[in-house]
Structure 1
Amino acid sequence: MARYPLPDLNTLPADIQAKILEVQEKAGFVPNVFLAFARRPAEWHAFFAYHDALMLREGSGLSKGDREMIITTTSAANHCLYCVVAHGAILRIYEKKPLVADQVAVNYRKADITPRQRAMLDFAMKVCLHSGTIEDADFTALHAHGFNDEDIWDIGAITAFFGLSNRMANMSGMLPNPEFYLMGRVPKQK
């Protein structure tokens, strides 16, 4: 159960209402994170501006699936139910693999992913759990898999940003929407 009540959509600033309604139109529901963070509009704006800068950045060597894989894996390490379930659903959809989110959340080293993705997650987990031990050899290992320094920045920034998100979700008691649990597991009905 959430520790902070979700605000009434009708009481929010017009720009936040518009964005939430846009997400609802696309997803068919309002992900709880949009309302949970809207209780403080200035923080909502800052959070989603940085989220969008990271997740929608053009020219990155990371696919949308790669980004969601980083989030799902590191969110599991941070014990964040909301982000594992929500971003795991998005990961399943982007990768078109119904098992991948569960695999990377439990043990990415045994998941059905590419060696490149495994190297990416090795680095993300180091950023997540042991950032003080990052050294040049970590960059060399990623370069060997075709990542450039901007891609490596993306891996680190996504990991760090979702570390904040994981902690806020855990602290606030944010729960995943029930819709996320089935997304990407079974084919959509036509």
Structure 2
Amino acid sequence: MAGFQTTPWRLISGILGVMCLVLMATLIMLRNNSFTKPSIQPTPSPGPNLEPQKDSSCQKMWIGYQCNCYFISNEMKTWEESKDFCASKNSSLLQLQNEDELDFMNHIRRWYYWIGLSYNKKHSAWLWEDGSALSQTLFSFPQTVNIQNCIVYSPNKRFLNEPCRKEMRFICKQLI
């Protein structure tokens, strides 16, 4: 009986076959990891953690982030109705404080939302519900803003003015 001889082509095809199997296994693992539910537990990181945090201080259906709880509505209401709803939940319409919070909101959903910013005729300025002034460094408004309207936030960090009586989704914010 003659000894088993391996031709170079058989050796090359065997190596390539093994490499294909390893590559396939790696792709399957990566695919499974990318489709798993993201962790909502706070994780230490050097930069800002943009993941929602499961916090026992927040009510059911609210999302915790940086000592605040957020309610992102799927329900449509006017600006005034949204403000009243938030007040009934011991909160107020969203007031964005800093760039981290703005980035966090950008990752939440892809709709337009009422926020707690409206034009105060008495002070001739855009003010938050708590009476504080709008930070010009954090926001830029379109040139044509109708002071009769209220401000809507969209996830791409854009602010639009819409008639306050229009029904939109809204975001409530509650300090923990």
Tell me which structure has the larger Cα radius of gyration. 2
Give the structure with the larger helix fraction.
1
Give the structure with the larger strand fraction.
2
Q: Using CA pairs below 8 Å that are at least 6 residues apart, which structure has the higher relative contact order? A: 1
User: TM-score normalised to the size of structure 1?
Assistant: 0.27
User: TM-score normalised to the size of structure 2?
Assistant: 0.29
